[in-house]
Structure 1
Amino acid sequence: MTDHDLSHIPREARAFQGRPAGIVSRLIANTVDAAVVGGILLASYLGVNGLLFFLDPRSFHFREPIPLLTLTSAFVVAGLYLGISWALVARTYGCHVMGLRVVGRRGHRLRVVVALARAVFCVVFPIGLFWCVINPRSRSVQDIVLRTAVVYDWMPHPTQPGATVSD
């Protein structure tokens, strides 16, 4: 009996291991990640107001969110969340849910600089994701520019050097 016989991954899905992820999987993962970032922002807002209540409960009232500060915070939190996740474990929570992994040229985890650059690129230019619909290798603009790829990877170990990203 091999490891594949005991796998929780359906036999039909095993053939996709290491292949480029499509737009639907990536959009679902990005939606989950947006919800995570929204949760972080909401928790931060409630935490700040909780601290203000703790410091002066008699004159406490919920502070109105400042639009520019909120937008800036959302960009910073999203960029750090994506970049750190890709650099440390090669996947965000959304990628984990969808069985995706972000890899570099030779199928390895991204270097910190590349992961952060990709995160900034994704936050500033999210529409670049839709390029993967017409790209034959399902690569977004960010993937093409930074030589990265998003692949199906359900295994708990990092992607092996078999999945390479061609230029």
Structure 2
Amino acid sequence: MSLGSVPAEARPFQGRPAGLVTRTAAGVVDVIVVLALLMIGYLAINGALFVADPRHFHFVSVSSVVSRTVGLCLLIGYLAVAWWLNGRTYGCRVMGLRVIAAKGGRVRPLVALVRAVICVVFPIGLLLCLFGRRRRSLPDLLLRTAVVYDWRAQLPVVTLPAPLP
């Protein structure tokens, strides 16, 4: 593994399991991102309604049940897609974290989705990472994933040797 792109101060932590504080900070950033996306969506809908009929325009009223449901679904989708595609959300990127599978590669789409659902529905499961040397939370234990410090832009591509003729 080449650490040339990793800051010198971070190299001793590269690949080590992330703890509660760093994971929580990443989660707070991710919630802020999703709230911003919700606000942008709300403003876009109202902007389209204004353009369509400016004389009779009024802001759309959204019930708390609908807004919470849409918010939770957006958060789950955001987390799942980000973990599946690159192993990191924006919050993970800011904090230098990556979600990896048991063998160190990317998590599969279904694993990323189930992990996202567990993290959103049962966030208290994060407290399990306080116990044990490997700092694994509830989704990590159930799905054999890990959250590690990783400042590289992308996971390294693993090339398998060519089959023998």
TM-score by length of 2: 0.89
Q: Does 1:41 align with 2:38?
A: yes
Cα shift at 1:136:
2.7
Among 122, 130, 152, the alignment partner of 1:155 is 152
Aligned CA distance change for structure 1 residues 80 and 61 (closer, same or farther; 3 Å): same
Listed one character per residue, the Cα deviations across residues 67-113 of structure 1 (whole Å, up to 9, x for unaligned) are: 11101001110000000000001100000011100001101100001
Q: Does 1:121 align with 2:118?
A: yes
Listed one character per residue, the Cα deviations across residues 40-84 of structure 1 (whole Å, up to 9, x for unaligned) are: 100011111111111111111112221111010011100000000
Q: Aligned-residue CA RMSD in angstroms?
A: 1.6
Q: 2:138 maps to which residue?
A: 141
Aligned CA distance change for structure 1 residues 160 and 143 (closer, same or farther; 3 Å): farther
SS in 2 for 1:149: strand
**AA partner of residue 35 (structure 1):** I
Cα shift at 1:7:
4.3
Q: 2:162 maps to which residue?
A: none
Q: 1:9 maps to which residue?
A: 7
SS in 2 for 1:58: helix
Do the aligned partners of 1:21 and 1:100 also contact (CA within 8 Å) in 2? yes
Cα shift at 1:160:
7.5
Count, aligned residues: 157
Among 63, 66, 75, the alignment partner of 1:78 is 75
Do the aligned partners of 2:80 and 2:113 also contact (CA within 8 Å) in 1? yes
Among 89, 113, 127, the alignment partner of 1:130 is 127
C-alpha separation in 2, matches of 1:8 and 1:114: 28
TM-score by length of 1: 0.88
Aligned-pair identity (%):
50
Do the aligned partners of 2:129 and 2:135 also contact (CA within 8 Å) in 1? yes
Do the aligned partners of 2:6 and 2:152 also contact (CA within 8 Å) in 1? no
Do the aligned partners of 1:130 and 1:140 also contact (CA within 8 Å) in 2? yes
Cα shift at 1:13:
2.1
Alignment of 1:56-95 (within 5 A): 56-95=53-92
Gap regions ≥5 residues in structure 2: 159-165
Q: For structure 1, which segment, 78-87 or 124-133, has the greater mean C-alpha deviation from structure 2 after superposition? A: 124-133
**AA partner of residue 103 (structure 1):** I
C-alpha separation in 1, matches of 2:109 and 2:154: 19
Could you list the structure 1 runs, at least 4 aligned residues long, displaced by more than 3 angstroms after superposition. none
